[in-house]
Structure formats: C-alpha cells, structure tokens
Structure 1
Amino acid sequence: MGADIERGIGQEVRGATQFPHAMAFGALPDGEAEALVEESAKVTAREGRACGIHITFAPVADVNLTSENPIIATRAFGEEPEGVSRLVKAYLRGCRAEGMLATPKHFPGHGRTTADPHAEMPVVEALREELDETDLAPFRAAFAEGGDLVMSAHVAYPALTGDDGTPATGSEQILKGLLRDEMGFEGPVVSDSLLMGAVQDTHDSPGAQAAALVDAGVDLLLDPDDPEAVAQGLVEAVEAGTLPRARVDEAMRRTWRLKERLAERHGREEAFPTDARHDPDESRKVGHAEHQQLARRIARQAVTILDNGTGALPLSPELGEKTVFVRLAAGEHTDNVLLAKSVQETLPQARYYAAGPDVEERELEILRREAADADTVVLALRVEPAAWHTFGLTDPQHRFAETIVAEHPTIVAALGTPHVLSDFPGAIARLCAYSDVPASQEALVEALAGNGL
C-alpha cells in the first residue's frame, strides 16, 4: 500500500502526527535540518507501517525555482539544489531505517512550473544544461542514497523531448533514455495521479492511455479513473502486439523486487501479514506524544522573523482589544478553528477575524472598520500549494491587506510561502512559518508573543 504522506501520516489519518511542509525544514539551522528531517521520516515510517502503509510518495525532490509555482512551493525543501539534495537524502535514510519504501518526486523536476497539472499540463522551457545543473541534482543524490521508486511529473520538457506536448510520464526519452540509460535508476517508476487534468483525455480510452504510459516506461499506474478498463486495455494491447509482453514483465519484476525488499527488511509475515487481527501495540505508535512533540519542536524552530526593525515583536498580552488579528486564507482547504484557539489562549484579549477566498467586499469593509482603532493589526496570510485552486490571495484579499498595511501599524505573517511577504514592505514586522499545519499555526502565534524564540 502506498500513500501521499509528505507531511506525515497525519496528512491522511486523523490523530496521527503531521509535520510542517518541507520548506519549514529548509528554514532550520544547517546543523539541525538534516537530523530533524531524518527523525521526522522515521516517525512517518513508524506510524505508516503501523497503519499498514508500505510506500510513501515522498520526498519532494523538486527545487522550487519560481515564486509563482502553484503546486510545489512550500512542498519543496528549498530553492537551492545542494540544500534540497542533502534533505532528500536525509529523508530517505529515515525511511530506510524504519522499513518504509520512499519515492522521490516529481522526475525530472517540477520546481520551474507556473501552471497546476491538476488542471493543465505545465511546460518547462529550461535548457538541458539548466536541468542538469539544478533540477536533476536532487534526483541524482536520491538515487545514490538508494531511493526505492521514483514518481514522474505530468510536465512537458521540450529540451528533453523536442516537443511541448508530451509529459515526462509519457516520454520514453525521459523515462528510458534519461532516467534508465543516463542516470542508471533501476527501481520502479510510478506515475503521478492519472486523475490530473494534464493527462486526461490524451488517448481514446483509459486502457489505451495505460498501455502507452507503460510502453513509455511507467511501471506503476497511480489513480486510474477506471481500473477495470485499464486492466482490460493492457491485456488487449499485449494481445495486439502494441505493448510488448517483455515490457509488462519488466514492470512486474521491478514491482516484485519491492515486495522482496520489504520481506527482507521485516520478514515476510510482518511485511505482509496474513493475520488481520488488530495489534494495540502498533496503534499506540500512531500520533504518539513524543512524535507530536517533535512536530511542534520543528514548527517552532522553523518560524523565521524576517524583519522587526520597529521592535513590534513580541506582542504583549496586555495590548488587549487594541490588537486585531485577521487571517486571510487563499485556499478552501483550511482549518480556521485551531488558529483562532491559539490566538485566544496566547493573546486572549486580541480580536480575531478570518476571511477566506470567497469573502465579500462588505465583510472586508467591516474588518477595515474593526482595524481603525487598533494599535496593532496582525495579518496572517495562508498561501499554500493545493490542487484545483488559484494560488495566492484573491484580488479583494490583496487590496484589503495593502490598505491595512498602508493605514495601520501592521505585522504580516505567512502561514505558507514566504514570497507573499514581499508584497508588503511597509509592514512593521514580517515573519514566516512556511506551513499551515496545526503545529505551525501554534508556533506562529507563540512567535508573535515571544514564546519559544
């Protein structure tokens, strides 16, 4: 079983441990970042194994090379290939230590994209030399460290294929020529989700698409819309001779070797138990207090104060109702309750408000009036990568934030990408948590109050 658990099992399982986004680890001191990435990967593997998960579709090995990237952003460890490479290797070591198979992604690099492949296929126009120097570096490091699988990107690379209409997932030049022949990777290639718009409607049927992708070099098809049609299409393609049987056998052998690797690490019965009875000892690993404490520690250490020239930080709890706290969330997938609770507990007299992407102008006008008599306004901006939504604040949200910063003493905090902070140079202080997970929300409020920094 595989799962998308970049931020820990808590990303998918309620009550399990959820770590901050990868960029938060990249913000940690150099002496601690690798150790904490490795430890967090061990926790993810430990809790994942307790839930019956064998494969994590992580780490993200992309180098985030543009502030406009709507789908990678804070999911990347950073913006420099050397640092990303070190942390990718640390993640792989942690997974291996606890018996989890890991999947560096999205090959050959998703960090330059400015479109969301859930909706359309991005095209990366970088030269081959640029890709070699930057985008491919973390993957070379991952393969040297022993990455088990690799996930392909639904992104076109004209410098590698000669056209802008073929994604890496469907390119023999990339999956066989570059990945296998040049870079020497022998593990399975798993596609990114086949439910994404970048690869929808590219063939006459799901079966035809599956056959083409397997023929191009994909070994495992992730999230097919119609699994039965895919299986039938593969059979028909083999029988018709359009998909070589040897290619199917090759994909099967690579997948089988993964199972053998798990059996070698754990013993066959532990890796693939035939007794489905519940083990309470395993369950107690999930969301263990020590694991949750590690997530909180990482979140606190990651918070970065980018400027505080006026000495506005830390806020004093005695400021009372003269502090107005406004959360602007760019995406729909958002938990407003936890942040409100943290503000109430840490800055109990502050007035708290929230405005999501669908906020109406009349509601923003009410917030403007609430801020009118404030000594300090705190704007917490949640801008995170997520599928199928506009990346960044909406125009009304952005205009509101600009007005508040221009008219009132305002602290601007980012619960996500730090790039949003550059839009507000007039803020009296700016800080970033790099993530909006529960631990990061709590850590941001603690930092505002001067706790833990």
Structure 2
Amino acid sequence: MNKSQKIAQCFSPAAFIHDTEENYQEIEKLIREEEIGGLTFFHSRHSAAANFEKRAEVLDVSGTFEKLIGLINRYQSISKIPLLISIDGEYGLAMRIEKTPQYPFAITLGALKEDAEKWVEEVGYRMGMDMKRSGIHLNLAPCADVNTNPNNPVIGYRSFGNQAEQVAKLSFAAYSGMKKAGIGACLKHFPGHGDTAVDSHLGLPILNKTKAQLEAEELLPFQYGIDRGVEMIMVGHLAVPALTGGKEIPASISRELITNLLKGEMGFTGLVISDALNMKAVAKHFPEPGMLEWEAFHAGNDILCFSDHVREGIQKISENASDEEVDTVYEKVMDLKKRLGVLEIQPIEVPTFDWESHSKLQSQLAEKYVSVISGKLDLEGIQLLRAAGKLGYQEFFTPTASTFSKQLGLDTTTISEAEKVILAVFVPSHKPLNQFGMDLETLAEIQRLAQSKPCILVHFGNPLALKYLGNLENVEAVICAYQGFEEVQQVVVKTLQGL
C-alpha cells in the first residue's frame, strides 16, 4: 500500500442514515477513490450533534434501523479493506436510531445503590451486543467526564456523576461490558469535559485549573482506565492552558497534551480518536481544507472522526508526516480492525431485539436507582388517605395520561379536597436549555401547589433539573426516578405502595 492509502485508514467521516441518494453516492466515492478506513453513522445531517429527544420532536422518519443495516451492507460491499463502522451511542443504539433498545443515561446509572459496577458492565455488554449484531464495531462511548459543573451545557446527564473515583469505576465498567460483547469502546472526552460552561459544538471551552487539580479530578478516570488496559481514548475540543504551556489550544490538536501527556506521562499505548472535527471549537480556526486534519494527526490522533475534508486531509498529512509516523498509525488501525473482527466482514440481516429481556433489565435497574432523595415517605399515611379519597394527584409535561397515573388510579380532579397531593413531573428534556424544556408558568404552578398543602414530588428526569422546582423543603418527600421509562413508572408505583 502506498502512503496515501495508509493515511486513508485513519479517516472515519460521518455517514448519515437519512440522506439523499446523491450524498450516499458521495460516501461511495470516498470509499472507492480515497479508500477511507471507516465511517461514523449519525441519524441525519441536522441532528448529528443533537440529542435524541430534540430530534424526535422535529423529524418524521421511519425505518431508520433497516436503512442503517442496508447502508452498512452497501458501503462494505465496495470497500477493498472492510470499513470500521462506528456510532456514538452512549445510551445504546436509541441515541441515534428510533425503535431500538434505550438504556439508562450515565447519570441514572451513577445513582445505582448497590453492585453498580456489575450492573453498569451488564448495560455496556447489552448495548455492545445490540451494536455487534447490527454490523457496528465501535461505540464512541462511555463518557469519563466528571460532571462537577451542574450548568455544563454539553455533559450533564452523559456523566456518571461528580465524584472522580465513582466516574473512574463506572466508565471503566461500561467500557469493559462493551469489550466483553466484542466491540470497541473509548473513554471520552480527554482530558475531561465535566467542568466546562461552553458547548464545544459551538465554541471552545477553556478549563482554568492547575495540573494538580486536573490530576485529582479530570485526569483520574482516564488514568484509572489506562492502568487497567483501556485500548482507546477520545480527545475533546477543550483548552487546558495548564497542560499546554499556557496556550488556549484545543486538546484535540495539542501535541503537548496527546503525545507528551497522554501517551508519555500517563503511559497510554492504545489508539487516540479525535472528537468530531467539524465541531466549531476547532473547525473555525482552520479555513484551509486539510490543515485541521494534519494538525490533529500531528498532535497524536490515530483515528480522525467526522472530517469534512478527507481528500485534502490525506494530502496534507502525506506532505507533512514521515513514512515512519504513517506506518505506526496504519499498523495500529489495522491491528484494531483485526481485533474487532472487521476483516471477516459478512453481509448482515436486520436483527430482532429481545424486548422482554430488555424490559426485565430496565425493571431490575430501576429498583436499584429509584430513590427517596429528600424527606421521608409516610407509606401508612398515604394508604389511609387513599382509602379515604383524600389523596390527590397531578402530573406535568405529559401529552396524555401516563402509565404511572393509570397504575396509581388516582383522580386528578380531587386536588382541592385532597389532604396530600402526589406531583409527578415528567421532565421534557435531559439537557439544561430552557430549564430542561420546562416552561416558567408550569414551574410556578408546581411551586404554588407544593406550598399550598403537603405534597410528594415524583421527578421523572435528570436530577439536575430539580433546582427549578423550588425549595424541596416545601415538599414532604422527593422521589427521584431519573427516567420516564414504563418500567421505572411501575417501580415508583410499588415504592408508593410500600412494596
């Protein structure tokens, strides 16, 4: 193979499931002419960096999963060297593909009360098996970011928590589960995106901490993984001046950070993958096509994800990199392909999912994370009021009556006569924008009710959204359910019934 063909194996541009035939042919052209090494699949162009719940509101699409399988088979059939197929599925295929199994968010798994590492590994394994059966070799997950900034616009629910030790153990457990399923995984976003206030899809976050502070927090989960043999790490687009000689340069293109710190001081010998190279934090600084790709390669990235300038990138790297550098990276990528079984590729059928087994797992997990996080439940009192018709119920942000309300069997019209009220809040979004999707008028109504009579607040959503629901001391108890899954709603019903 010549130098350019070897370099092409580093590239994993974006492929969109819902796209035009013209764009599908553009990808085929990249495979045939540039001989790229892989593809990273996204749902559609306008949602590549969006969260699933946002997309669900604006897109009317069908057959996403079947389309994905068809495209994987189509693209693999024309590639000389089988393609490494990646997806960014932090909570399973469902992060990108409708009607596929969705698993709890990392913040939810971080709330598991017992055997957390065992259960998180099981979730990683199940996600991995879903992906492996779908022709995917690499999941660009889990996050090893320590979410110490509650206003973080881009991490939040994607992190296992705000304690570095816990994040280290659970991110490694998730990684291990995926590896056990026979797919690749990576810890991200090195050197740690948890204490940032800027969304790197839009601008460059700057983390002003000393190296000692970073080692105690941000870097700890990555070092924990490296010490236990993690084979892949994704580098984020954030500047950490303490690690780059005072320069505000994105980590993803910093040689000091990737080659000197990660590979040198921290002893990482695996593959480094860049975060999406189309993200504004880096892309806007390189108007000349191909220069960003060269800078990312030179910094020490082995796989270049979501490059918008593949052809020019290959050319620039070919002009600037030595044969030895190219050979080293090429061998690492080919070794990864061998380990993940990429080279023994076969056409795949659309797999079916064991929804019954998935539902059972969801119930088992919910029993371990649904928690009374504030106050105390008077279960006997609840039953007495219920029997006397004095227990009221109201739910918020649901278009139709929830499973929870049906199973509770309480009439929402009895609030004025009720002596105690259960308030169920189904938080619309897991991202902090616009109070997690909750309008101010409804929030004011919830707070009014909480002050007017004894209430039990049931929070189906991201716990970081609780701060918008007023002073929690105004309510008798807060049950945090973390997610709105049907199985979770059933577990909360049992909790209220004292079962």
TM-score (norm 1): 0.80
Is 1:104–1:151's contact at 8 Å kept on the other side of the alignment? yes
What is aligned with 2:102?
18
Q: How much does 1:175 deviate? A: 1.0
Q: How much does 1:395 deviate? A: 4.3
Please point out which of 349, 357, 360 is paired with 2:410.
349
Q: Percent identity?
A: 27
Show the 5 A alignment for 1:244-393. Answer: 244-263=322-341, 268-269=343-344, 272-273=345-346, 276=347, 278=349, 283-284=351-352, 286-309=353-376, 311=378, 323-328=392-397, 336=398, 340-351=401-412, 375-380=420-425, 382=427, 385-386=430-431, 389-390=433-434, 392=436, 393=438
What is aligned with 1:424?
471
What is aligned with 1:3?
87
Please point out which of 279, 294, 316 is paired with 1:237.
316
In structure 1, what residue type is equivalent to 2:210?
L
Is 1:72–1:111's contact at 8 Å kept on the other side of the alignment? yes
Is 2:379–2:497's contact at 8 Å kept on the other side of the alignment? no
Show the 5 A alignment for 1:35-434. Answer: 35-163=118-246, 165-224=248-307, 226=308, 230-238=309-317, 241-263=319-341, 268-269=343-344, 272-273=345-346, 276=347, 278=349, 283-284=351-352, 286-309=353-376, 311=378, 323-328=392-397, 336=398, 340-351=401-412, 375-380=420-425, 382=427, 385-386=430-431, 389-390=433-434, 392=436, 393=438, 395-422=440-467, 423-425=470-472, 426-434=474-482
Is 1:126–1:159's contact at 8 Å kept on the other side of the alignment? yes
Please point out which of 483, 489, 492 is paired with 1:435.
483
Q: How much does 1:301 deviate? A: 1.7
Secondary structure in structure 2 of the residue aligned to 1:431:
strand
The CA distance in 2 between the partners of 1:406 and 1:429, in whole Å, is 13
**Residues 221/372 of structure 1: CA separation in 2 closer, same or farther (3 Å cut):** farther
Q: How much does 1:68 deviate? A: 1.8
**Residues 235/55 of structure 1: CA separation in 2 closer, same or farther (3 Å cut):** closer
Please point out which of 104, 111, 118 is paired with 1:27.
111
Q: How much does 1:313 deviate? A: 8.6
Q: How much does 1:49 deviate? A: 0.8
The CA distance in 2 between the partners of 1:154 and 1:162, in whole Å, is 17
In structure 1, what residue type is equivalent to 2:103?
F
Q: How much does 1:84 deviate? A: 1.8
Higher relative contact order (CA 8 A, sep 6+): 1
Count of aligned positions: 408
The CA distance in 2 between the partners of 1:236 and 1:379, in whole Å, is 57
Is 1:42–1:95's contact at 8 Å kept on the other side of the alignment? yes
Q: Cα RMSD (Å) of the superposition?
A: 3.0
The CA distance in 1 between the partners of 2:210 and 2:367, in whole Å, is 39
Q: How much does 1:445 deviate? A: 5.0
C-alpha deviations, 1:238-279, integer Å up to 9, x for none? 45x34545444433222212111123xxx953xx22xx2527
**Residues 293/177 of structure 1: CA separation in 2 closer, same or farther (3 Å cut):** same
What is aligned with 1:361?
none
Unaligned runs of 5+ in 2: 1-84
C-alpha deviations, 1:43-91, integer Å up to 9, x for none? 1111111111111111211112122222222222222222222222222
The CA distance in 2 between the partners of 1:194 and 1:396, in whole Å, is 40
Unaligned runs of 5+ in 1: 329-335, 353-369
C-alpha deviations, 1:284-333, integer Å up to 9, x for none? 4x2442233112210232011013436279955668796332324xxxxx
**Residues 411/344 of structure 1: CA separation in 2 closer, same or farther (3 Å cut):** closer
Secondary structure in structure 2 of the residue aligned to 1:260:
helix
Q: How much does 1:104 deviate? A: 0.8
Q: How much does 1:407 deviate? A: 2.7
Is 1:161–1:174's contact at 8 Å kept on the other side of the alignment? yes
TM-score (norm 2): 0.73
Which sits farther off after the overlay, 34-43 or 86-95?
A: 86-95
